[in-house]
Structure 1
Amino acid sequence: PWSSCRKRLLLCLYLSCFGSIQTSVSCPSGWTLINSRCFLYVPTDMTWANAEKNCLSMGANLASVHNMNEYRRVQNLISAAGHGHLLNSVLQEKTWFWSDGSPMTYTNWCLKQPDNKAGHQNCLQMNYSGKENCWDDVECHIRRPSVCAKKG
């Protein structure tokens, strides 16, 4: 009886100590963990709508970035793949927003951007302008690689 009771006690202690430990955030194979979200570089040139549709098919959205550190890490992901510009957010009624619904609190626009040239530049491309790697507004039918992001 004592042996059985001791085993149950040890099991209870084990469960109370270790059962509540949260598992660390993990990403599917091929995705990169950045700030508790999983990011995937998609090298295929697509329009904004097709890129977002592709991300949605993987349970993600086109990547949003919320601070300079996060943007630099996403840039590193793109650089590691050996590519440059990519499509990201969208403009509606003069308000920029991320497709995942998060607010656009951080921006890295190039000088004199966004300019909405010809009144049709409603999408954003990142890593524009060579070494500056700033943001530029472009027409949404432009085809670029993209980065998807989802919660880890």
Structure 2
Amino acid sequence: MNNVQDDVNRKTGKAAQEWMNNVRDDVNRKTGKAAQEWMSHVRDDVNRRTGKAAQEWMSHVRDDVNRKTGNAAQEWMSNLRDDGNRRTGNAAQEWMNNLSKESSCPRDFVYNAKLKFCFKVIFERSSTYSAKKKCKRMVKGGRLVQPDTRDKLMELTKTISSKNHGTRSSFAIGSTKNRGRDYTWMDGSPMKYANWCLGSPNKGKACVTLTSQRRGSDMCMDDGCCYHRGKFICEKPIAY
């Protein structure tokens, strides 16, 4: 900790003393004896990585924070973000925002940083309504996935193809038919983008599944029975 304090004092000026005291107290309170080794790694990483390598470094920090602080990570990350914004200048804003967003995606979910897209493919079988409840219980803010852009649909296609090895399958997603008989996302927003399968929707069913087509093509949307027990995809929305 003395080395880190000296390093920060040299690089950031008089404001470092208060900031380092806060970091030291936070780390000691939340990570215990592991703080000394962890802080040394953070110091070395910060010195070595300041530009394009930040993405890889952020992943390591996220894993480190999740492993060492558990549920306290959210509060800790908020404090660190506020400290970074106040003490290190304009460059901190974007970097800390990205770090905060990535750390809020559970480690067992797939995270695409470019799309701010956090999701998990579930292979157990449930009705659409039961799957919706399971997603909500799985993670704070969880919901059935809403692939509202082609980029998100392509990301789902790539992930599911790698797990299914090209076999056909369907997954419940977060779209239903409203009283006006139009399909909307379950959060109430209109489906401005929808990649319907050829001829769909044509069954008069209220729920929607994401269905794999021939190998190498995007998955498409098909209407289906809400009570059919099938696989599903959960999503944790990441705020922009």
Query: Shorter chain as normaliser: what TM range?
Result: 0.7 to 0.9
User: Where does 1:71-110 land on structure 2 (aligned, <5 Å)?
Assistant: 71-82=153-164, 84-88=169-173, 89-93=175-179, 94-110=181-197
For 1:110 and 1:19, the matched residues in 2 are separated by: 44
| 1:148 and 2:228 are equivalent in the alignment | no
Unaligned runs of 5+ in 2: 1-8, 17-83
- In structure 1, runs of 5+ residues without a counterpart are 1-6
* Residue in 1 that maps onto 2:109: 31
Distance 1:122 1:11 in 2: 62
Q: Does 1:16 align with 2:16?
A: no
- Residue of 67, 71, 79 corresponding to 2:149: 67
Alignment-derived partner of residue 23 in structure 2? none
Conserved 8 A contact 1:75-1:127: no
Larger proportion of strand? 1
Give the residue type in structure 1 aligned to 2:13.
L
Residues matched between the structures, number: 143
Q: Which residue of 1 aligns with 2:63?
A: none
User: Normalising by the residue count of structure 1, what TM-score does the alignment of the two structures yield?
Assistant: 0.80
Q: CA deviation at 1:134?
A: 1.9
Range moving further from structure 2, 55-64 or 128-137: 128-137
Alpha-carbon distance in 1 for matches of 2:188, 2:178: 13
Which deviations, in whole Å up to 9, do the C-alpha atoms of 1:62-119 show, x marking residues without a partner? 000122121010112222222721011111221211123333111111122111x3x4
Question: Residue 81 of structure 1 aligns to a residue in which SS?
Answer: helix
Q: Which has the higher contact order (CA 8 A, sep 6+)?
A: 1
RMSD of aligned C-alpha atoms? 2.5
Report what 1:46 is aligned to. 126
Matches within 5 A, 1:110-149: 110-115=197-202, 117=203, 119=204, 121-131=205-215, 133-149=219-235
| Larger proportion of helix | 2
Letter in 2 for 1:69: D
Contact residue 47 and residue 142 of structure 1 kept, 8 A: yes
Residue identity over aligned pairs, in percent, reads: 24
